[in-house]
């Protein structure tokens, strides 16, 4: 049972998701949180990761650490995304098993599912089709982590499980226009338009691809909700009802932030899967649902940009 004095190791506390989890843990009165920067602990180093877990013996482990980026970065650094994320998952999950840690949460991504599915994606679709090529390296690493958690729970009666969120956005996101995901890129471009440093809102592709998004504070809430539960299913989708085409996301955000400009499209061969809408029947059945309105989340995020 997760208690206020439970020892919790949060891997990746400086990232967007990890920092949101850390804020929520502190807000709710959890005092015994272990965090380490990349300089203090290289999670791709097996020996150092094992030694750290053995020495500290946390009761709960949250893996929010990962090499992440938008579609272009995924394509350009596919080997890095595969090897670094696999090492992080392997070192922490196996190290936790070796040091007899009972509870572990692994954060993945909706990209682990087959690409170009028109219907909503349920958890049982994993490994039932070909991955979308642009982020295949990242997806394979995350699938490795998912299955490793599943096997350790199945064979050794551990509470190791994975949450698969849709596209996450919020404070602490990456706003580099070459490496970010689509939504923070839209926010950054709107800021440039407001500052008169950009005339039009330029989007990659044709804007027709559909995406589902979740505010990072809601994802953090889901993490704590399921950490408090015992015997979780090995894989749980975390999503929302917020799905638009990328073009319509841009229109919605411009309306929320009171920006009027023309949308133009960059001619590019960089394309992702057409749709990635998650089926959240399981998470709702288990008692969790997102809380933050899209307009509220956009305003909160933009104010901190």
- 60, 97, 138, 152: the catalytic one is 138
| CA atoms of 69 and 79, how far apart (whole Å) | 13
- pLDDT at position 118 over 90: no
Q: Give the tens place of pLDDT for each residue, 242-300.
A: 999 999 999 999 999 999 999 999 876 666 788 899 999 999 999 999 999 999 999 99
Q: Give the tens place of pLDDT for each residue, 5-37.
A: 999 999 999 999 999 999 999 999 999 999 999
| CB 109 within 8 Å of CB 142 | yes
The domain 8-172+214-241+277-292 is classified under which CATH number: 3.40.50.1000, 3.40.50.720, 3.90.170.10, 1.20.1250.20?
A: 3.40.50.720
Domain ranges of the chain: 8-172+214-241+277-292
Compare 58 and 196 and report the one with higher pLDDT: 58
- How would you classify the pairing of strands 159-165 and 235-238? parallel
pLDDT of residue 13: 98
∠ CA 231-236-237, nearest 5°, is 165
Q: Tell me, yes or no, if 138 is annotated catalytic.
A: yes
| CA atoms of 63 and 246, how far apart (whole Å) | 29
């Amino acid at each position: 049972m997760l208690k206020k004095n439970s020892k919790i190791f949060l891997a990746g506390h400086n990232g967007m998701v990890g920092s949101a989890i850390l804020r929520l843990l502190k807000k709710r009165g959890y005092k015994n949180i272990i965090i380490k920067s990349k300089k203090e602990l290289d999670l791709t180093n097996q020996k150092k990761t094992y030694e750290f877990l053995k020495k500290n013996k946390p009761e709960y482990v949250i893996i929010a650490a990962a090499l992440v980026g938008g579609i272009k970065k995924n394509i350009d650094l596919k080997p890095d995304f595969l090897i670094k994320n696999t090492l992080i998952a392997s070192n922490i999950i196996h190290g936790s098993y070796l040091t007899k840690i009972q509870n572990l949460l692994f954060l993945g991504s909706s990209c682990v599912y087959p690409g170009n599915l028109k219907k909503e994606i349920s958890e049982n679709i994993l490994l039932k089709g070909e991955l979308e090529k642009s982020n295949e390296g990242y997806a394979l690493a995350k699938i490795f982590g998912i299955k490793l958690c599943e096997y350790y729970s199945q064979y050794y009666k551990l509470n190791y499980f994975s949450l698969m969120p849709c596209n996450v956005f919020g404070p602490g996101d990456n706003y580099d226009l070459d490496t970010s995901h689509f939504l923070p890129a839209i926010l950054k471009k709107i800021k440039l338009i407001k500052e008169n440093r950009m005339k039009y809102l330029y989007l990659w592709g044709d804007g027709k691809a559909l995406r589902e998004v979740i505010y990072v504070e809601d994802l953090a809430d889901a993490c704590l909700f399921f950490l408090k539960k015992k015997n979780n299913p090995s894989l749980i989708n975390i999503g929302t009802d917020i799905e638009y085409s990328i073009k319509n996301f841009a229109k919605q955000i411009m309306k929320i932030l009171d920006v009027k400009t023309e949308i133009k499209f960059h001619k590019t061969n960089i394309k992702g899967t057409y749709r990635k809408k998650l089926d959240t029947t399981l998470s709702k059945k288990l008692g969790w649902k997102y809380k933050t309105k899209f307009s509220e989340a956009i305003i909160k995020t933009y104010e901190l940009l």
